[in-house]
Amino acid sequence: MKRIFIFLFAASTVAGVNSCKTTPGNNDNPVNALLLSGSGFDTIVDGRQIELYTLQNTGGIAVQLTNYGASIVSVITPDKDGTYADVTLGYNDIRGYLTDNMNLGCIVGPFANRINKGLFSIDGVAYQLEQNDGENSLHSGKNAFSKKVWTASQEGNSVTMVYEAADMEAGFPGNIKVTAVYTLTPENRLELRITAVSDKKTVINLTNHAYFNLSGEGSGSILDHQIMILADAITPVDSTLIPTGVFMPVENTPFDLRTPVTISEGIDKTEDQQIVYGKGYDHNWVLVNNTGELALAARLTDPVSKRFLELSTNQPGLQFYSGNFINGTVVGKSGKIYNFRNALAMEPQFFPDSPNQPNFPSVILEPGQTYEHIAVYGFGIDE
């Protein structure tokens, strides 16, 4: 069973963990104890104002966003005992985001994930991207949407962010306008809708790169989490994590997550070459839903706190990344160091290297067309 939660009590800080405990008899909202101050984000970058936006609902959760990279900064939720924690990785202030190399919470693009040798062609014209992941391009390089100041406005529990990229910015053709709308609903769903248009034929593949630990950011490993991904196949990769172009059935492999599986059970099965290449899970799952309609894609559960996250999307793929390259060099919001496999990312997307893979769904965006990406993050508590 699962339940939606409403807690409106007071908070006290639990030492060493970025969380707070409800205290009956006090009417203060415990979420407030974990909200970051906007003053840490109040600065000018590239001549534009940075802001921190806060969404709170009657269902008992809060989300904070910044227009730097159109990023999710915090997601604050209670557990089965009414203890609140921030369950997504991030920084206390803008300084962390300006030097971030993990893409914490941001929207990545114009093309999320990897492109082989950073090279693709449209109608016989070759385009070279920054090669920032060995020989490959990852998340469009250092001049990507994730490092831009977006124009933002808030209305109620919804924030709209817009970024307009100039033709050939980051190596991509077309003046591309991207709009991202984050909405927190009373049902504890964070809805993200991204649209994009271009005045030239281009390639587009956008996603949010939030990292989650449902025990609370900075609390340690996610190996005890249970994950389910509704997919019958993955797109296997070579040693540089570029897809081979074929589809590999998940049955009888560590990638069979069609029913809930504890992450530790398959992540280190080094007899599987794909696990070796990814240093764990860092692969694209081919979702059962491939109609372009919104449908459940994945479910993540923490067996201790009983928090769950249900992710629905209209995208054909989902990159599950188990934090294999988190290396202990980043200090997060709780003052704790983010270490190896302390969080995971679930990124709805088109498939990696799609511009170079004729068997994959097309990522071409024509002038006059509108690209649309929908992701819904539903939070709750299992009983």
Strand, coil or helix: 33: helix
With beta carbons less than 8 A apart as the criterion, state whether 179 and 161 touch: yes
Q: What's the CA gap between 110 and 127, in Å, rounded?
A: 13
Q: What's the CA gap between 30 and 14, in Å, rounded?
A: 12
Strand, coil or helix: 187: coil
With beta carbons less than 8 A apart as the criterion, state whether 192 and 182 touch: yes
The two tokens of residue 212 are: 């989650």
Q: What's the CA gap between 367 and 167, in Å, rounded?
A: 13
Q: 267 — phi, psi (to 5°)?
A: -70, -25
Q: What's the CA gap between 50 and 42, in Å, rounded?
A: 6
Which residues lie below 8 Å from residue 277, measured CB to CB, with a gap of 6+? 237, 238, 239, 241
Active site residue ranges: 209, 347
The two tokens of residue 363 are: 């990522």
User: Which residue, chain included where needed, has tokens 């964070």?
Assistant: 190
With beta carbons less than 8 A apart as the criterion, state whether 174 and 180 touch: no
With beta carbons less than 8 A apart as the criterion, state whether 266 and 254 touch: yes
- CA R_g for the chain: 20
With beta carbons less than 8 A apart as the criterion, state whether 380 and 2 touch: yes
Answer whether the bond into residue 78 is a cis peptide, omega within 30°: no
Which residues lie below 8 Å from residue 330, measured CB to CB, with a gap of 6+? 96, 100, 102, 337, 338
